[in-house]
Amino acid sequence: MSRKAIVVVSYGTSYIETREKTIGAIEKDIAAAFPDRDLRRAFTARMVIDIIRKKEGIEVDFIEGALEKLANEGYEDVIVQPTHITNGGQYDHAADSVRKFKDRFKSIRMGTALLTTEADYDEVLETIRDEFYPKEKDTALVMMGHGTVHYANATYSQLHMKFQQCGMENAYITVVEGFPYFDDTVKMLRGKGYRKVVLVPLMVVAGDHATNDLAGDRPDSLKNLMKAEGYEVECIVKGLGENAAFRKLFVQHALKAGEL
């Protein structure tokens, strides 16, 4: 009987208090959907792996290290499911690692990032509508993604266009790095008559960016930029991994990969 495993690969976080609420919760849900497979954790951020090792004395495998261990332990059938939002640089690196190991297993398949197909956008949009979209027309929802210099940054603009097409005119996307940056989003909100702005991370983990760039006390945080515009501001500092509906989407991606 062949040994089977599923590797859940994440960027990672050194924030202990949110790691198991987000990444850990996704891993548990995926493990429950694959009772015949052994679960392994892997991160793509070496810096995060190093911080965890130094601060906590815990070893988290880099993606290639996790696959090397599985190959050496005699596993033959492996699924790799990323928890990345976009098909950006981190996803590309994980995919490259999987390709390197294609001859080490009888079968190795990789699931897609959260926002990949048109159906993915529609499912994410409906989940956002159900979980975060404000009922009040004088309230704007602003979701903050990470952003990237990778061409996958266009993902954020596509999701924003989906909002507009589906009648969610008071929902916006902003990013920490790239376009639309905070200043771009502030300009988009002006003149719309909003009284309140709800800020939510479009990130699996509510780590440094959510704590400091979104809800921090420094003048250039998203929260304070919105307050300077005169809005009442509500910050929901929770990663998408804490939300069961979003975790279900990652499980669905893993199940699709398992069908390949």
Would you kindly state where each structural domain of the chain is located, as residue ranges?
3-113+242-259, 118-239
Residue 207 clears pLDDT 90, i.e. is over it: no
Beta strand residue intervals within the chain, DSSP E: 3-10, 38-43, 61-62, 75-82, 107-110, 139-145, 171-175, 196-201, 232-235
Sheet with 171-175, strands from edge to edge, namely 171-175, 139-145, 196-201, 232-235
Residue 107 clears pLDDT 90, i.e. is over it: yes
Residue 58 clears pLDDT 90, i.e. is over it: yes
pLDDT single digits (tens) 152-202: 999 999 999 999 999 999 999 999 999 999 999 999 999 999 999 999 999
Residue 4 clears pLDDT 70, i.e. is over it: yes
Instruction: Please tell me the predicted confidence (pLDDT) of residue 29.
Output: 98
Instruction: Provide the whole-model pTM.
Output: 0.94
In CATH, the architecture of 3-113+242-259 is: 3-Layer(aba) Sandwich (3.40)
Determine the topology of domain 118-239 in CATH. Answer: Rossmann fold (3.40.50)
Q: Which residues, at least 6 apart from 176, have a Cβ–Cβ distance to it below 8 Å?
A: 144, 145, 146, 147, 209, 213
Task: Tell me the three state secondary structure of residue 234.
Answer: strand
Instruction: Please tell me the predicted confidence (pLDDT) of residue 162.
Output: 96
Core vs surface per residue 95-115: b (16+ CB within 10 A) or e: bebbeebeeebeebbbbbbbb
Catalogue the long-range contacts made by 160-165 (C-beta closer than 8 Å, 24 or more residues apart): 162/121, 162/122, 162/125, 163/125
Catalytic positions are 146
What share of the chain in percent tops pLDDT 90?
A: 96
pLDDT single digits (tens) 109-164: 999 999 999 999 999 999 999 999 999 999 999 999 999 999 999 999 999 999 99
Token pair 């996803």 in the structure block, residue: 91
